Structure 1
């Protein structure tokens, strides 16, 4: 395994709205072991060909190129990333950048937690810095109804094992859906205290894969704050100092939580993140309908310099403001129907990562 070449990062490349390239969401596999309603509500899917998945070396080259153009945070996603057999090797390859002057600040993973307790030690040893786990409900019966699986106990076990493995700054992500789990917001905050972790409540988004989405199922940020204020009293909004998607708040006793209000309060104006699918399709926005096939370039013999030029040129043309465009629609319905998703798996949420 070759170590990355130390380099002093250049000024970040910016897009047409002066947004820098700063955050890379890298999917390592499209498959998942849950079937959550807001992401994968169907039982059967068209998977990416296994031979198309980026290799460790290809991932390493891509990440190095992105970092050289201003990326400081890399998050590994899926599908469910823990399904990828050589995930620790991928983590180790990326984590080498912490030892040079490239500018990489963070390497994290987002997981549903089912396989987490058995994988944490290897990931920590490989260089992973942080963990985010999805937990939408503390009720096993609700979990089974949402995910079509009975593995809630494994998710809780995985969450409980995170601090023992030496991880800090842990996040718990919870998609809030009206009529399903909005009554658990306070309970999730209390659970997060015991981990310890910070819970982030996410508005139900109409992204690809959310084939059961409807506007009346969205429980917005304003109602979340109203509900939590009734339980805890005055809630203080914390100042925002970066391009992270969550707005953070503090309870009277000092406990903090976040809200990602992508549906009702899009943050497109400061969005610095893009996504690469497990087979190398580069997407500038979660709502993108098409992307750039980086795998094709990698396997056609592109040089590192040509790869950087390709990424820089793509980012400088970026004008995506997908969530804002959706919020401005007069009649907002499901983003993509199931039949269209089946024709192109790259449109699926589980393929492009969260």
Structure 2
């Protein structure tokens, strides 16, 4: 049987990005994510993960994003990055990693670069020990103890940025970026300090609205600081000019007028971008989800075990994608008014 051509979903969206989770665990307990404490059963092997990436690339995915939980907890990370390098000849253009940065040592950064990683996005939700501790879910001890632990974590992330730079990741070419989830009443006082830090370090800062992913994070609309308000606050301090959003991109980008680099905002709540979303997510145990807010996935392990069946995998993913009609962020208002929403999967399980 012939292999499928590049599929389009029910809204004529192509498959372009595979977000592959390597673990559901994390070394932090950020309250907007709240990861699992243990792995789900049946984690994928290196061979199985490579087969999934190959199938997605065959169907048009040019970008691979390695996620978690915290992907640096996976000891096979570098081996996977190296194993998918031959897929560049078939259309894989970029391999990126999203990490909280705490475990990114100088040695690990060099190993990832040598294996063929193109880009790193590190997470930091504050610039003070108190804010970092709060947003990382650091608990135990008194406030001063938590502050000191937050300061230590902040130093680890700042060091990770420099480790990445020394390993050859070029921030000026967008190869190191900084993510920050901003939650009203929790860390919105960190907005300008984070922007100042990113400008000082020559990094593009991506500000992310607090999202209603999963069931654990206590999301409520009034805790969302909208992208427009974030941009407005920063623009009053450092004037911004609009750049726009790339096709299929998640971030609306702005340029600092004084030459201080770029800023991005991910407005999944206030300005949804479902219309050209091209991302497929596969969990660490091989379940495919066609939306970050999805409640049901498709188990791909029958086509991976006892050994991967490349053609069957491609046909299964193509069929899944052609059936896709997800646009939860655009439908959120109607659902809030009373429509029933099935219980969604958790962010750390889906790979963020």
Asked if TM exceeds 0.5, the reply is yes
| 1:146-190 C-alpha deviation (Å, 9 max, x unpaired) | 223332321221122221110121110000111122222222122
Task: Give the CA deviation at 1:47.
Answer: 3.1
Q: Normalising by the residue count of structure 2, what TM-score does the alignment of the two structures yield?
A: 0.88
- Match 1:122 to one of 105, 111, 114: 111
Partner of 1:248: 253
Q: Normalising by the residue count of structure 1, what TM-score does the alignment of the two structures yield?
A: 0.88
Contact 2:182–2:207, Cα closer than 8 Å, also in 1: yes
Partner of 1:349: 347
Matches within 5 A, 1:197-208: 197-208=203-214
Q: 1:189 to 1:125 in 2, by over 3 A?
A: same
Partner of 1:213: 219
Matches within 5 A, 1:167-316: 167-168=169-170, 169=174, 170-233=176-239, 235-254=240-259, 255-301=261-307, 303-316=309-322
Partner of 1:53: 43
Contact 2:24–2:38, Cα closer than 8 Å, also in 1: no
| 1:31-89 C-alpha deviation (Å, 9 max, x unpaired) | 10000010007xx645312xx11111111111001000000000000000000011100
**Alpha-carbon distance in structure 2 between the residues aligned to 1:172 and 1:156:** 10
Partner of 1:6: none
Q: 1:106 to 1:143 in 2, by over 3 A?
A: same
Name stretches of at least 5 consecutive residues in structure 2 with no aligned partner: 139-148
Task: Give the CA deviation at 1:300.
Answer: 4.8
Partner of 2:34: 40
Partner of 1:5: none
Partner of 1:156: 158
Name stretches of at least 5 consecutive residues in structure 1 with no aligned partner: 1-8, 342-346
Q: 1:37 to 1:237 in 2, by over 3 A?
A: same
| 1:213-257 C-alpha deviation (Å, 9 max, x unpaired) | 111110001111221121123x21113332110000012113210
Q: 1:250 is paired with a residue of what secondary structure? A: strand
Number of residue pairs matched? 331
**Alpha-carbon distance in structure 2 between the residues aligned to 1:160 and 1:39:** 26
Cα RMSD between the aligned structures? 2.2
**Structure 1 segments of 4+ aligned residues over 4 angstroms from their partners:** none
